[in-house]
């Protein structure tokens, strides 16, 4: 029996890497369903022809009709806002790769867990917007919520070396982004095209901007808090430009465990698909002597305040991270559209977060309501400054 997968966000950066892992393990994995926004129709169609899913989900109905006319016989096409959730909960699916971008991925993730599917979670915004809801639902349903983010996969592995009470803190590594060494007084001149040239990882546009502002690391800090049940004060960030050490755990006896590999998404994705097993593969091997040296430096919180803002949101309580994330998504899109400057991205997030009084969130609807509230506030502000 091979493991049946739903790949949500199949034409994105993580989705295509997940399919690359499937390609390497035809004896262990097969694709049951694919879901995508449908913007890259030709690519999606190619995936359907190669992986032969039984069902494909796209949000846009017009795109779905076009797809339905072109897919091989026997492939069902579903459309609409609920389509990704339908693909995630198909009866033949064993594990869901949740790799959609942004808070838009939350309902499908929630549906997958609710249906008792194990989830390999690349959509970090889901955990940021509704972390407590998702982890509580996963515990109630007895499903595994497995990270795909390289940092969290590293911590997940390191934590296998000790008991929870033996852990002192979790330390996330950050590449520092493309502007780590750039004079902050010149940041107003940064154009999206420049910010999109990320030095170490190949990723989609939204996460690439998040990596440049270091908001990605802030979102990951919140994600780590939920995934591993560790409060913010026991989570740290260290800058590591080579992105070879993917993160670390410090234990109470002063021992550290770190996880290293070549920085390619196929490693963390395979880990999340194989867990609790480890599979042989033919991915590129790490040569320590080729790397030569590994550098670490403190995060400069004055130049990169995004991590502190995320910490502030986490400590404020449930709705705080949802609002932070919503404001950030809106601000990043405004920057990518050339409507605001690079420094205005994090300034917008700060202003919206500061105007928010955090409250507990008990349902998915409430989480989505705070997401809308954060977006509205951010848009008002973006109109005023853009």
Closest approach of Mg ion to the CB of residue 276, in Å: 22
Closest to Mg ion by CB, 56 vs 172, is 172
Kindly state whether residue 210 participates in binding Mg ion, applying the rule CB under 5 A: no
Closest to Mg ion by CB, 87 vs 203, is 203
Distance CA 283, CA 304 (A): 34
How far are the Cα atoms of 96, 98, 147 from residue 118, in angstroms, in the given order? 6, 10, 11
Quote the Cα angle for 245-342-239, to 5°. Answer: 15
Closest to Mg ion by CB, 47 vs 150, is 150
Per the listing, tokens 């009709």 go with 65
Closest approach of Mg ion to the CB of residue 248, in Å: 14
Closest approach of Mg ion to the CB of residue 217, in Å: 8
Closest approach of Mg ion to the CB of residue 354, in Å: 26
Closest to Mg ion by CB, 228 vs 370, is 228
Closest approach of Mg ion to the CB of residue 14, in Å: 10
Closest to Mg ion by CB, 53 vs 218, is 218
How far are the Cα atoms of 14, 294, 331 from residue 266, in angstroms, in the given order? 9, 22, 30
Q: Which two tokens stand for residue 164?
A: 């929870």
Closest approach of Mg ion to the CB of residue 379, in Å: 27
Closest to Mg ion by CB, 47 vs 211, is 211
Tell me the number of residues near Mg ion by CB under 5 A: 3
Distance CA 98, CA 105 (A): 7
Draw the binding track, 232-261, toward Mg ion (x: CB under 5 A; -: no contact). ------------------------------
Closest to Mg ion by CB, 157 vs 319, is 157
Draw the binding track, 58-87, toward Mg ion (x: CB under 5 A; -: no contact). ------------------------------
Closest approach of Mg ion to the CB of residue 216, in Å: 6
User: Site residues for Mg ion, window 138-167 (CB under 5 A)?
Assistant: 149-151
Closest to Mg ion by CB, 118 vs 149, is 149
Closest approach of Mg ion to the CB of residue 66, in Å: 34
Closest approach of Mg ion to the CB of residue 156, in Å: 13
Closest to Mg ion by CB, 221 vs 364, is 221
307 and 218 in contact (C-beta within 8 Å)?
A: yes
Interface with Mg ion (CB under 5 A): 149-151
């Amino acid at each position: 029996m091979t493991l049946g997968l739903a790949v949500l966000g199949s034409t994105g950066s993580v989705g295509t890497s997940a399919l690359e892992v499937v390609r390497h393990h035809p004896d262990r994995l097969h694709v049951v369903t694919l879901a995508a926004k449908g913007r890259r129709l030709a690519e999606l169609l190619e995936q359907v022809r190669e992986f032969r899913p039984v069902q494909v989900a796209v949000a846009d109905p017009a795109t779905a009709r076009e797809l339905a006319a072109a897919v091989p016989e026997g492939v069902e096409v579903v459309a609409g806002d609920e389509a990704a959730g339908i693909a995630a909960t198909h009866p033949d699916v064993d594990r869901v790769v949740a790799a959609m971008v942004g808070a838009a991925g939350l309902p499908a993730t929630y549906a997958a867990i609710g249906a008792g599917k194990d989830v390999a979670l690349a959509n970090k915004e889901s955990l940021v917007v509704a972390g407590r809801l998702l982890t509580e639902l996963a515990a109630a349903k007895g499903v595994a919520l497995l990270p795909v983010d390289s940092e969290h996969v590293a911590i997940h592995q390191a934590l296998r070396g000790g008991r929870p009470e033996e852990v002192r803190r979790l330390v996330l590594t950050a590449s520092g982004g493309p502007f780590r060494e750039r004079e902050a007084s010149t940041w107003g001149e940064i154009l999206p095209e420049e910010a999109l040239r990320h030095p170490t990882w190949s990723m989609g546009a939204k996460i690439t901007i998040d990596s440049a502002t270091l908001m990605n690391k802030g979102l990951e800090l919140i994600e780590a808090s939920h995934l591993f049940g560790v409060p913010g004060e026991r989570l740290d960030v260290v800058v590591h430009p080579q992105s070879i050490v993917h993160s670390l755990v410090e234990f109470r006896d002063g021992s550290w465990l770190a996880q290293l590999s070549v920085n390619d998404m196929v490693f963390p994705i395979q880990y999340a698909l194989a867990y609790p097993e480890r599979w042989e593969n033919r991915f590129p091997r790490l040569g320590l002597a080729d790397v030569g040296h590994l550098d670490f430096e403190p995060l400069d919180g004055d130049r990169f305040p995004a991590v502190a803002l995320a910490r502030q949101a986490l400590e404020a309580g449930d709705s705080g991270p949802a609002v932070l994330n919503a404001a950030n998504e809106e601000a990043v899109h405004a920057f990518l559209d050339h409507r605001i400057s690079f420094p205005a991205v994090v300034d917008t997030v700060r202003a919206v977060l500061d105007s928010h009084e955090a409250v507990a969130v008990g349902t998915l609807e409430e989480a989505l309501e705070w997401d809308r509230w954060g977006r509205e506030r951010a848009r008002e502000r973006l109109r005023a400054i853009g």
